[in-house]
Every structure is written in structure tokens, then in C-alpha cells.
Chain A
Amino acid sequence: MSEPVSALNGASFEGLVTLQDRGPTGMITLRGDLAAPVMAKALDKALGLTVPDTRRVQPAKGVSKGQAAWMSPDELLLILPYGQVSSVCANLSATLEGTHHLVADVSDARALITVSGQDAHVREVLAKLAPVDLHPAQFGPGDFRRTRLAQVAGAFWMPEAGQINVICFRSVAQYVFDLLGAAADPAASVDYFG
């Protein structure tokens, strides 16, 4: 079987910040009653995850590389290594069998771009594109936002200071990459976040 190819195929860019396509990444849309005990059980069993708080991303306990991001009151986005997606989908479906839920593999429907560099610059680049308060007091490590990047839907989270991971739809990956590149023009620094 052929190797999976991401939309940006490993592209990178250096400017005010560094942009890096993260390549094929596992992503699962999980919809259901987030408060139900069976949901907690399914997440724990499949990836050692718990339900994240509102607008937060929750890394897994232990060895699992999975993360759960809050998308809406009845939707999570699970982020995990590409190769684990089908087994995790099956695992989730098995636990949630009989309850109203939806598990969809959306790995290939998305692109994941890492924006890294000076923390203030990373915030600034995103603030040019998204109507989000990126002040450190309002958005820090573990925070997740489902928002808009200029003219398209997008989401991002901050795994640690100086890094923001951006998710968009696959078809507009190049557009988002180009947007971020334009916003990261070294001559266009805003010097707003300190």
C-alpha cells in the first residue's frame, strides 16, 4: 500500500516564526453526550483520555500520544498518531455501542501546521488571522479555540509557550499555510504581546 501523503507534503517556512507541516496526523471526530459515564469510559479505554474542559485540549495520561480537544458541547476532536486511527475508532465504537454517538475518521480531511518561535510572535501571527484574544492571560498552554483563519474555518491550540498547532481543512491547507506565511513577514511585526 502507498504511503499516506498530507496536503502540504512536509512544507516548511521561516519568517517571524517557523511554520512546519506535521504530515499525516490521526484525527477523529467524536460526537455524543460528553457528560455520560460511558463517554469517559470510552475515551479512557481507547486512548487513556479524559473529557477536556470547555475550550481546552487534554493530553492523555501515560504512554498514549493521544489528545482530546473540545470542539462543542457535544463534540470532541481526538488527535493521535495516524497509524492508530482505525483501531481507536473500532475501540470507541465498541464501547459506545448502544448509545447515540458518532465516530468519524477525519484524519485525511485535515491539515496540521505547527507555528513556533518567540511566544509573542507566535501569538501575533495568529492574531492577524483569527478573532481570538491571544493575550497570555487569556490563551495559554492547553487552551484550544475553534475559530476562523481569515476566510476559512480553523482551530488551534497551544501545547506549550512558543508553539501553536493550527488545524484546517485539507483543501485549504495551502491557503492557510500562505496566510500564516504572509502574517509571519519579519517586516510586519506588531510588537503587541510584549
Chain B
Amino acid sequence: MSTRLATGGRLLNRGKQVTFRFNGKYLKGYEGDTLASALLANDQMLMGRSFKYHRPRGVVASGAEEPNALVGLGAGARFEPNQRVTTTELFDGLQAESQNHWPSLEYDIGAVNTYLSRFLPAGFYYKMFLFPRAFWKHVYEPFIRMSAGLGKAPTKADADRYEHFNATVDVLVIGGGVAGLQAALAAGRSGARVLLMEQTAHWGGRAPVDGGTVDGQPVDAWIATAVSELETMGNVTLRLRCMGAGVYDHGYVLGYERLRDHAPEVDGPRHRLWKIRTRQIVTATGAIERPLSFAGNDIPGVMLASALRDYAVNWGISVGDRVVIATNNDDAYRTAITLKELGLAVPVILDARASGGGALADQARALGIRVENGKAIAKVKGGKRVTGVAICAQAGEGGVLDEVACDAVAMSGGWSPVVHLWSHCGGKLIWDADQAMFRPDPEKAPTGADGQPMVIAAGAANGAMDLALALADGDLAGRAAAQAAGHMPVTGKAPVAEQQIEAPIAPVWMMPQGATYGLRSKAWLDFQNDVKVSDVQLAAQEGFTSVEHAKRYTTLGMATDQGKLSNINGLATLAKSLNTDIPSVGTTTFRPPYTPISMGAIAGEARGDIFQPLRRTPLHDWHAAQGAYWEPVGHWRRPYCYPRSGESHFDAVSREVKQTRASLGLLDASTLGKLVVKGPDAGRFLDMLYTNMMSTLPVGKCRYGLMCSENGFLMDDGVVARMSEDTWLCHTTTGGADRIHAHMEEWLQTEWWDWKVYVANVTEAWAQFAVVGPNARKVLEKLGGMDVSKDTLPFMQWAEGTLGEVPARVFRISFSGELSYEIAVPASHGRAFWDRLMQEGAEFGVMPYGTEALHVMRAEKGFIMIGDETDGTIIPQDLGLGWAISKKKEDYLGKRGQERSHMVNPNRWQLVGLETLDGSTLPDGAYALAEGTNANGQRNTQGRVTSTYHSPTLERGIAMGIVLNGPARMGEVIAFGKTDGTEVKAKIVDQVFYDKDGVKQNV
């Protein structure tokens, strides 16, 4: 059983006990524990079930690479699935639930899959669920969804807050082990701005566990000295619990800081995402030990040799009284020696190397440990925990020579440098055959904006596996990075550590090397996704020779751990199956983030009120106080209507329309885009942008204009007013202001850069109100200050002056068909001016109206709306807007597009009005039905509805739509399909339903 030792545990505060819950059980640990060490201290070896076969699983590693021991952490609004117990710091009140089992962790019915494993081979889904076709939806998918998947999705909104932070530095050092610390020291001493981040809560990496001396003092003393020197440097920032998540182009790096995961009771943001811009990056990210592929290597109690050592030294944990060690290198002997010195039994060390180990092996033997060279594990015995191992010759097929009872197995297949961050942005790897590892190729580093290397790997991450080599490498990296960032490194000696000579590693990708099929199908490569040696071999047999294809076919390395343990073993197995060497198989692509980061950190501050910018007009609060029903338009909120107490939206819209047509209505049109275009070439510029002529517009007049994309499609419309000889004011749609401004700037900056035109977006400088209805003029006359009579200010003209003591521009334009003025006043006076209008309009029964009344009134007049009548595929000619296209102009944006054969095809659907025979309102978007069906068996169509409303004025449904040869078919009745399968008949009519001659607006 696993238990806490009476003494030891360098990270523990044994003075402070901590209580937590696992699957409802109350357990105790100490401050300084991880959830993994605390569970082991309580003999909780079984921590989860595997993804596919639901095999019992325990913790296998001690850090970020852990594939098995994932739990659901927290509860309610603080629940998070798939959290690694190895990187979860213990705190009082922690709650964890194991995952992927039913009904319980101990008795999981899904474990039956393990007996079906013969029927669940690699590529199983692809092979089995093809036929019969209907079974996918009704049988296979529901079954898979029920049985597959690890954690459960949270059901409540996240209660925590998150934030981003931008930092710019010269040198970013990722990893706070000895190499990273030395790199930061070397760079910091040069005066460079340095940021050093470490993903765990402790400095020094695994050096304090592995031991050694630096400059004559124990390595942990050196670490403490290094950290305190760094803390005194004003140019160096140190961050614990901050992971380098991803390296991107041009020295952009994301850091993931976990601020409150270990202390959720403390106020403040939970995670902070660092957005770092750096000149140079040092990746001192260490290395990860590889498992060995032998049968039963996934049984709880089989762990990485280094992890066993970590648990013993860091947290005072004995995973079992008797630990068998299996290795192909010298490093695992350190675990044997550590355990033995703690008084635990190591019955045997199985060294797969025929020639055995070096000095460390001698030391182990001297401690009385039995060492067997050239031996291997045939298989591990046990179910929910290890009970023993069967021993065989590594060279054979697994014939059992001996059996040894034990509680745990420590395995070491060698070390893989953590090359993820090196590789994210294009750093290449080389295969180091001597050390049996991929390590960064210094000749092929990721390059920055200047084409020069921007990442330097250091320490174990660079293949410098020994303490002495790692320190020297870190020093070199720190100096080189500082220099590349423009700082002169100071001269000085790097710290010197004693180098330990180790016997060479022997690559072992299968244990024993000739393992039978039976053993291979129990030898796990990817623990989290349940991929075995036999699966990869099958994939190779079936022709998946590319590592990327084999990965996807077998799901090797595709789980939440992204194959940190399985990657190299998997591709070595693939290489062997293909009878080729490892470098020619290569690795799969390393992609950010290094380990999963929270969605909250990515979102940052963007939630609640500041999820998105909400744009407000100067009248926003007034609208809200009236109980406006809002409609989002771009990032604006506009009142859709102003329902009165007990009134439906439909009734409110009808009332607003009727009152406006009968007397007086007001609209907040402040959101309309307003772009000032000025300069000697402004007229010429606008002639290119609009389909009609703007250069000929006289000062003081207004003209409606259409803007098309280069392909001829209608993209925006609005009224243009000529302000002066060289200045025009262009109104855009509400959603179009920023887009059209950018469109103008793009043409001015890239194509017509020599034209003298300046554009300014003054949209928000003005509050703009439409004063609409037969009494519109009277209310303006009451305000006084400007002559707004028919003769002085006729239709489609504008004037500037002072209205009701407020500076104002008055535009005589109408989108409703009524007598109408649009009045622009400075935004800071908008609310006061509106209040005056409401006050003076009271005697006319003035009513504010919303966007829906605006839409209804424009539809009654047959005016098009960008986004209703247009959808990016409509040209003005489709909408009967040929009158707004200048025939005189040599060119305008969209002209050639509109001349393409498809655009001049007479069979393009054309705009008409539609009147249902029964007076009902057509469904929006409904298709006009034609005879017969198409090749897919779908009903043929001959048009569609683009705008449809109930007209309170005409007391019937009215609609606009585009119909095949529509304008030539006036009076014809066609049918429209409804979603319930019925049809509704409508007559093709002129789209102007109300006041066709424009008498009302022109008074």
C-alpha cells in the first residue's frame, strides 16, 4: 500500500494539516502536498478509469505530463473537469471526483470493454460504424457518447474572474530549474529586462531531488542563492505557477499564471494570461521520463522511476514497501538508491542492458540491491494495483524466468527533452542516437521578424541531462540571449558542478524485445487514450505509414496530455513496424498550449458587462428609462419599439407607425455613420466609390447614393450632403460606419495614394434625430432659429444654423415617406435637444419610434434596406436601382463586376412588391415555388422574400422579394412555401405600397 513516511518530504509543512474530499470521502494531507501526493498518502492508488477500456488507473507521473490521474475539481460554479492531480496543489476544503466510470470508481461496468478489446482495434470507429448507415445516428453515436469521454462539462457559469497582462521584455526564460535560473542570472546581469517563469510553485526543477553539488555547496543551497540574487535585480521579474503556454511569431509568447488555484478563498482573478513580446526566448523546460512498453505497464502502482523518487523526496511518500525497478539507463538507479536509503525494499533492478549500468549501478549493488542485467518485465501482475512482476530476458519473447512479489514498479525508458516550446514556432529537432532522444537542432532555431534565431534551448530541454552540463548550458543560453537582445553579457565564471559519468542508455522500445502478441496487446503506449503497442503495429500494417496519419488513426497522443509520455515510444514503435529508423518517421507537430489552459484565461476580462463593448447613443439612458425593447445593431443597442404598459411589441410598432404618419414621430438616428470626406480630389474619389455622381452635387444639397464592392455587389447606401466646395458628408448605415471608413482608407492608402483626400469618421460627434410626420415642420418652428419652410429648405437640401439655441444641421430627407427632417446636434447637447423636441411635440402627441416602425415605414414606401434586400450577392440592378447608377461615368467601384455575364443575365431574380391574397404576412425568407424538382429532389424555386411586415397603415401584410422576371410579371399570383409544408399565394405588385407619387414627403 502507499503511505506517508514518518519523516521527509522537503515541500511539506507537516505543521499544517489540510482536509480535502475525494469521491465524497474526507481525507487528510499537509500543506505543500499536491492532490497526487495526498491521495497516495491515503493509499488511494486508484484514481481514475481509462478512456476506452475503462481500465483502473493510478498516477504514473509527478508533473505536467500525467496522463491517468485526472479528476473533476471543485463543485457547482467552480467545477472543472480533467484536472491533473499532479499539478493540483492541495488546499483546505478541496473537492475532487474521479472520472469516467459508472457506477463507481471501484466497480465500473464499462471495464467490460477491456474484455472486448480484441473487438476494439485501432481505427475501430472508422471500420465498425460505417454500416448500416442509419445505425450511426440512432445506435452507435449515442452509445459512444455515453461510454466515451473523460470529464463532465460544467453545468454552471464560471464564478471566477480572469485577466490578461501585456509585458514586453528582452529575454524571456521559460522554466525555473537550474538551467533556467542560471540563464536568467546571466541575462539579468547584462542589464537586459528578463522575465523568468516556472510552471510549478517551486524553483529548482528536479535538481533538489536528484542531488549534486554546485560550487562546493549542495544544489538546493545554490538554488536559494540564485533566487535571492535574481530577486534583488530590478530588471528581472520572477513568476511561479506561470507556465509558458505557447511560442508564436515574432517573439510573442503566452504565459498562463495560476493565481488562485491553490488558494481559492483569496479574492482576485483566478488566472492571468500573460501576453509577452520578447526579443529572445530561452526554453529551459526540462525533460520528461519515458515509460517502458511492457505488458501491464498501466496497472496502478507502475510509475515513472523519477516520479517515485519525487514522491519520496518531495512529499515523503512510499508508494509501496517493495519496488521493482525496470530500466534501460542509469538514472533509474537513483530511485533505487533513494528508496533503499529511506528503508524501503527494492527486491530487484531489471536492467535491460546486457552490459548493465555504471557507477550508480555499483552504488546500488553496494547497498545490497539485486541487479539483473539483460532482464526485463514479462508482465506485471495485479488488477487494481500491482502484486508482482514476472521476469524474463530482454532478448527473448517473454518466457518467464522468475516471479517477484512487489507493490510498485518504477520504470524508466530514458528521457525526452521538453521540446514543445522550441517547436511551436518552427524550431527543428535532431535525433541524438547516443542519448536516444530528439533534441533541438541549434542550427534550425525558430526565427523572428529579422530572420535571426529567437529561441535558445537550455539545460535538459536541450539534451544537457547532467547537472554540470545543464548549468553550463543555461549560462551560455542566458548570455547568448542577452547579447542577441542588444545587451553585453558581463564576464564571469559559470557555476561548476560535479559531472556524474553514466553508462550509455540502450534504446528499448519493447520489453521484452520479441514480446508476443498477447504481451504487446497489454503494453500501453498512450495511457489516456488507451493505445497499445499492438494498435500502432496494426496501423502500420494497414498502411498508415505517416506518423501524422498513424496518430489520427490510433488516436495516439490525441488526449488532453497530447502524448507527453507516449509520443516518442509510439513513433519508435511505428518506425520499428515500418522497418525504418526513428528520424525518418519524425515527430508529430507540437502545438500550443503546452498543457491545457482555462477558457476563462483566454477570455480574460471579457465577461458580464464587459463581455463585448456596448455602444450607446447620447439617448441610451433615456431609451432604457422608457422601457425600450432593444435590438442589437452592430455593437449598438437601438430601441426596436417602446412598448407601453401591457402593450405587445406588435401593438407598440403599429401605434408608433400610425402616430408618425398621422402627426409626429421621433427617431434616434445617432448611430448612422457620418464620414467627412475633404480635399481637392474628394469629388473624384466619391465618384469612384458611389455608383452615381457625387462631384456634381451642389453645395447645400443631398443625394442618395449606393456603394458597391469591386465585384459589383451592393455593400452600403446612404445620403451624401455637400458641405462646401471641397467637403462632403457621407451617411452610412449603422453597421457600416467603421467598415466604410476602412474601405475608404484602404483605397486611399493602397490604390489612390496620390489623391488629395482626407476622411474623418465623425459618427459619434453628432446626435441625430429624425423628426417625422405632418407636424414635423411645426415643431421645428416652435423651437425656432431656422427657416425650415418648403421654399427655403426644400426636399433633399440641408442647412446649418441654430435650432432652439443649439447649433444644428438640418437635412430635409425622408426614409418614411412623410414630411421629415433629420437634425444633427453636437452629441453633448443631444439629450437636452431631444427633451426639447418631446416637450414642444407634446401638443402634437409626439411619440418616439423604434427601428421596427422605421422598417415598416420604409417597406411601405418600397425603400430597400442593406442586409434585408442585400446579402452580398445582390447588385443594384437586381433591386431596380438602375436609376442610381451613373451612365456617364467612365468608372466606379463595381462597374466591371456588374458587366460580368452572370450579372447581366436577364434571369437574375428582380425586386418586386408582394401582396398575399389573404392579407396575411409572408414568412421572412420564404421561397417562391416553381414547377418540378431539382436533381436533389428539392422543389424548384423562382424567388424569395427579402422583407416582410404587417403594415398598420394598409392593415395587411406587405412584402418585398426578388422574383424571376418579377417586374415583367405584375399582377401574377405565385405561391410561397411555408415551413409547415403549406403554401401561401401572393400577387406580384409594385414595391411602393404607400404614396407612390411622394406627395406626403414633399410638402
Contact between A192 and B165, CB atoms less than 8 A apart = yes
Complex interface: chain B residues within 8 A of A172 (CB): 613-616, 635
B615 and A2: CB pair below 8 A? Answer: no
- Bitwise, A152-194 to B at CB < 8 A (1) or not (0) is 1000000000000000011111110011001101011010101
Known contacts A102-B758, A135-B168, A182-B610; A5/B831 CB under 8 A: yes
Stretch among A38-46, A47-55, A56-64, A106-114 lining the B interface: A106-114
Q: Does B609 contact A (CB under 8 A)?
A: yes
- A152 cross-chain contacts in B, Cβ below 8 A: 613
Cross-chain pair count, CB within 8 angstroms: 141
Complex-state Cα separation, A179 to B609, whole angstroms: 9
Contact A2 B612 (CB under 8 A): no
Residues A182 and B605 in contact in the complex (CB < 8 Å), given A4-B826, A170-B764, A171-B636: yes
Contact B272–A190 (Cβ < 8 Å) = yes
In the assembled complex, B164 has its CB within 8 A of some CB on chain A: yes
Which residue of chain B lies nearest to A132 when distances are taken between CB atoms in the complex? B166
Contact B605 A7 (CB under 8 A): no
| Given known A-B contacts A109-B763, A171-B636, A188-B268, A102 and B678 have beta carbons under 8 A apart | yes
CB pair B764 A171 closer than 8 Å: yes
Q: CB of A133 within 8 A of chain B? A: yes
Within 8 A of B (CB), among A118-133: 124, 127-133
Interface size range of chain B in the complex: 35 or more
Q: Does A1 contact B (CB under 8 A)?
A: yes
Q: How far is the CA of A183 from the CA of B617 in the complex (A)?
A: 25
**Given that A24-B828, A106-B760, A109-B763 are contacting pairs, would A178 and B676 also be in contact in the complex, using a CB cutoff of 8 Å?**
no
Pick from B166, B609, B762: contact of A178, CB under 8 Å: B609
Does A67 have its Cβ within 8 Å of any Cβ on chain B? no
> Closest Cβ of chain A: how far from B396's Cβ, in Å?
59
- In the complex, the answer to whether A108 meets B163 with C-beta atoms within 8 Å is no
**Which of B164, B605, B678, B829 interacts with A4 by CB under 8 Å?**
B829
Those of A122-149 within 8 Å (CB) of chain B: 124, 127-135, 137-138
Bound-state CA distance A128–B269 (Å) is: 12
* Any A CB within 8 A of the CB of B606: yes
Determine whether the beta carbon of A102 is less than 8 Å from that of B676.
yes
Which residues does chain A contribute within 8 Å of B268, judged by CB atoms? 185, 187-188
Q: Which of A31, A108, A150 contacts B826 (CB 8 A)?
A: A108
Known contacts A150-B605, A170-B764, A172-B615: A6-B828 contact under CB 8 Å = yes
| Least CB separation from A74: chain B residue | B758
Min distance, Cβ B327 to any Cβ of chain A, angstroms? 44
Q: Give the CA-CA distance A174 to B618 in the complex, in Å.
A: 12
Question: In the docked arrangement, what's the CA distance between A124 and B166, Å?
Answer: 9
Inter-chain CA distance A2–B825, complex, in Å, is 12
Question: Which residues of chain A have C-beta atoms less than 8 A from B764's C-beta?
Answer: 108-110, 169-171
Question: A102 to chain B: which residues have CB within 8 Å?
Answer: 676, 678-679, 758, 760
CA distance A13 to B805 in the complex (A): 34
Q: What CA separation (Å) do A163 and B512 show in the bound complex?
A: 69
Contact between B605 and A128, CB atoms less than 8 A apart: yes
A24 to chain B: closest residue by CB: B828
Q: Does B189 contact A (CB under 8 A)?
A: no
CB–CB B760/A150 < 8 A = no
Chain A residues with CB under 8 Å of B890's CB are none
Distance of B613 from chain A, by nearest CB (Å): 4
Within 8 Å by CB of B833, from A2, A3, A24, A32, lies A2
A94 within 8 A of B: no
- Give chain A residues whose Cβ lies under 8 Å from the Cβ of B635: 172
A29 at the interface (CB under 8 A from B): yes
| CB of A193, distance to nearest CB on chain B (Å) | 9
Residue B765 at the chain A interface, CB threshold 8 Å: yes
Q: B275 touches which one: A4, A131, A169 (CB < 8 A)?
A: A131
Check A87 for interface membership: any CB of B closer than 8 A: no
Number of A interface residues at 8 Å Cβ cutoff, please give it: 54
Bound Cα distance A16, B763 (Å): 34
A104 CB-CB contact with B under 8 Å: yes
Contact among B193, B612, B831 with A151 in the assembled complex (CB-CB below 8 Å): B612
Verify if B879 is at the interface (C-beta below 8 Å from A).
Answer: no
Q: Mark B815-833, 1 if CB is under 8 A from A, else 0.
A: 0000000000011110111
From the candidates A24, A151, A187, name the one contacting B267 in the complex (CB within 8 A): A187
Contact A151 B765 (CB under 8 A): no
Q: A100 and B679 in contact (CB under 8 A), knowing A31-B758, A128-B163? A: yes
Q: B164's closest neighbor in chain A, by CB?
A: A128
Q: Which residue of B lies closest to A138 (CB)?
A: B168
Chain A residue with Cβ nearest B680: A100
A5 to chain B, nearest CB (A): 5
Say yes or no: is B766 at the interface (Cβ < 8 Å to chain A): yes
- B758: which A residues are within 8 A, CB to CB? 31-32, 74, 100-102
Q: Closest approach, in angstroms, between the C-beta of A27 and any C-beta of chain B? A: 9
State whether the Cβ of B167 lies closer than 8 Å to any Cβ in chain A: yes
Distance A35 CA – B605 CA, assembled complex (angstroms): 41
The one of A2, A109, A129, A134 that contacts B832, using a Cβ cutoff of 8 Å: A2
B15 interface residue per 8 A CB criterion? no
Binary A-proximity of B544-570 (CB < 8 A = 1, otherwise 0): 000000000000000000000000000
Closest-CB distance, B668 to chain A (whole angstroms): 12
Shortest Cβ gap from B633 to chain A (Å): 12
Partner of B618, one of A7, A24, A133, A137: A7
Inter-chain contacts of A1 with B (CB < 8 A): 805-806, 829
* Assembled-state Cα–Cα distance A109/B676 (Å): 13
- B743-785 residues with Cβ-Cβ distance < 8 A to A are 756, 758, 760, 762-766
Interface string of B826-856 (1 = CB under 8 A from A): 1111011100000000000000000000000
Does B588 count as interface, using CB distance less than 8 angstroms? Answer: no
CB proximity of A187 to chain B, nearest CB, Å: 3
How distant is the Cα of A6 from the Cα of B290 in the complex, in angstroms? 64
A4 touches B828 (CB 8 A): yes
Q: Are B678 and A108 in contact (CB under 8 A)?
A: no
Q: How far is the CA of A59 from the CA of B501 in the complex (A)?
A: 68
Q: Which chain B residue has the least Cβ–Cβ distance from A169? A: B764
| Any A CB within 8 A of the CB of B381 | no
* Contact A104-B613, Cβ < 8 Å, known A127-B166, A133-B277: no
Chain B, residue nearest A106 (CB): B765
- Beyond contacts A100-B758, A128-B164, A173-B616: 14 other A-B pairs, Cβ-Cβ < 8 A, are A1-B806, A4-B826, A5-B828, A5-B829, A74-B758, A104-B765, A127-B166, A128-B165, A133-B166, A175-B614, A179-B605, A182-B605, A187-B268, A190-B272
Residues of B within 8 A of A (CB): 161, 163-168, 193, 234, 237, 266-269, 272, 275, 277, 604-606, 609-610, 612-618, 635-636, 676, 678-680, 756, 758, 760, 762-766, 805-806, 826-829, 831-833
26 contacts between A and B (CB under 8 A): A1-B806, A2-B805, A3-B832, A4-B828, A5-B618, A100-B679, A100-B758, A104-B760, A108-B827, A109-B764, A128-B605, A131-B166, A132-B166, A133-B166, A150-B605, A150-B613, A151-B613, A169-B764, A171-B615, A171-B617, A171-B764, A174-B616, A183-B163, A188-B269, A190-B272, A192-B165
| Chain A residues in the interface with B (C-beta under 8 A) | 1-7, 24, 29, 31-32, 74, 100-102, 104-110, 124, 127-135, 137-138, 150-152, 169-175, 178-179, 182-183, 185, 187-188, 190, 192, 194
